[in-house]
Chains A and B, each alone.
Chain A
Amino acid sequence: MKAAEFEYFRPTTLDEACGLLADTGDDADRCLLAGGQTLVPMMAMRLARPTHLIDINRITELQGIRDLGGSVEIGAGTRQRAVEKDPITRRKLPLLAAALPHVGHHQTRNRGTVGGSIVLGDASAEIPLVALILNATLIIHRRDGRRETMADGFFEGPMMTALEPGDILTTIRFPVWDGTTGSAFHEVAPRKGDYALVSAGAQVALDANGTCIRAAIGVGGCAPTPLRLQAVEDALVGQRLTDALITQAIAPVPDLIDPESSVHASAAYRRRAAPQLVQRALLDALSEARP
């Protein structure tokens, strides 16, 4: 299980990386290498075989967590474990903090990056789901410019995103919710640390009267992409959240999702588990919001 041959490049600046990636003068298959926790095994199995591997691990512009008050910016190349351990994450991005321990294991999170996971866009992965639920802003660079796009709409299909050839995801800006909020993340995986069969994340904000003023809910493993459950959110916002209301709100979930079968869980399994995990996430988020 050895990778096919490739040429290796190690830019130290974003401009250099953009330049290397944009060079399309030949038939080369150029690929960025970040944490490598998914790409390298794919290469070992020769399911991925880039001819030009551009290692972006030494680009300091891609590193770091910045608290901007109303948002937190995380450099795409920041290691998942660094984000998990950072107090800013726990304080400002509790949903991300709750999801990260489900991502692989210590050792894979020591290398795996936040941006790498988003760029892969696996429908079962936790970080893309959190980015989608919170509708993070994705900052993308390429040789001729910089743009921002929202996570909503970024995930286009199975392992497919809105990134164009030449694009580098550089920063993820997560919005921080004010006020009385609660969040929770639940998932079922064959073993802890495996890709989720079904995952569900929820974040809610309540006003002083306990009425839900904001809700963000999504599921993983239930469609070709991570999925936000707008209809469930709509059923909750403006309401006082009771168990009965939540039960009613999750009822349409099986119809909102489009799961596939895999070795460890059928589509029917996912259809049945998804609403229940959403319910668990909502109840936990609610109880966190109501101390």
Chain B
Amino acid sequence: MIATIDIEFTVNGKPVRISVPPRMTLVDCLRDMLGLTGSHIGCEHGVCGACSVMLDRVPIRSCLMFAVQADGAAVTTVEGLEGPDGKLSPLQEAFWDCHAMQCGYCTPGMLVAAQGLLDENPTPTSAEIREAISSNLCRCTGYQQIVEAIQLAAQRMNEGVDHA
């Protein structure tokens, strides 16, 4: 057995110190060691995006990173999208309003992908939204209501309207 490695990083703003086997993927670490089961495992070979998380504010696939690589980084998962008071983010509200999901399995990764887009482009076109979420597969929705939700969230954020 190969020795585990101690790492320190933050997850949703909270510091974490754990010891991980080198081969453990980040998503397995988040789910199995930290109990953050919002990030899902869909393919484990980097295609479906169900495991998308933010690494230093940029969306990535957490099945394509080993947890040891996150040492020193800031990871945000779906559990970190809510405000500290449990208030839903505008994107979460819009996903709910548009019913931008069905089974909910791809939803956390989709939210991360969409948040990553809105962080860098607050006024995306429909084509830009599709480009950004094309990294995340959804089998339930045909993406229509997801695209609409992201548009709605962008619109509300730009208008500064609080729809909670």
Contact = CB atoms under 8 A, between A and B. Distances in A.
A1 B46 CA distance: 12
Query: Taking each of A37, A40, A107, A111, which has the highest tally of chain B beta carbons within 10 Å of its own beta carbon?
Result: A107
A7 B25 CA distance: 14
B131 A106 contact: yes
Given A106-B135, A193-B134, A3 B52 contact: no
Contact of B66 (A40, A108, A192): A40
Interface extent on A, as a size class?
20 to 34
Nearest to B109: A107
Interface stretch (B9-17, B57-65, B95-103, B147-155): B57-65
Contact of A41 (B2, B22, B45, B116): B45
Query: Taking each of B49, B58, B64, B66, which has the highest tally of chain A beta carbons within 10 Å of its own beta carbon?
Result: B64
A8 B61 contact: no
Nearest to A192: B134
Given A37-B46, A105-B134, A106-B135, A8 B66 contact: yes
A45 B63 CA distance: 12
Contact of A106 (B22, B68, B132): B132
Contacts of A55: 68-69
A30 to B, nearest CB: 14
A6 interface: yes
Interface extent on B, as a size class?
20 to 34
Contacts of A6: 2, 22-23
B44 interface: yes
B45 A45 contact: yes
B113 interface: yes
Contact of B46 (A2, A7, A41, A81): A41
Interface string B18-60: 0001110100100000000000000011100100100100111
Contacts of B134: 105, 192-193
A67 interface: no
Nearest to B69: A55
B5 interface: yes
A8 B68 contact: yes
B113 A5 contact: no
Given A36-B64, A108-B135, A8 B116 contact: no
Contact of A36 (B28, B44, B65): B65
Nearest to A3: B23
Interface in A53-71: 53, 55, 57
Nearest to B23: A3
B8 to A, nearest CB: 14
Contacts of A4: 23
Interface of A: 1-8, 10, 33, 36-37, 40-41, 43-45, 53, 55, 57, 81, 101, 104-108, 110-111, 192-193
Given A81-B58, A108-B46, 20 more contacts: A2-B25, A3-B23, A6-B23, A8-B66, A10-B68, A33-B69, A36-B64, A36-B69, A40-B63, A40-B64, A44-B63, A104-B135, A105-B49, A105-B134, A106-B117, A106-B132, A107-B135, A107-B136, A108-B61, A111-B61
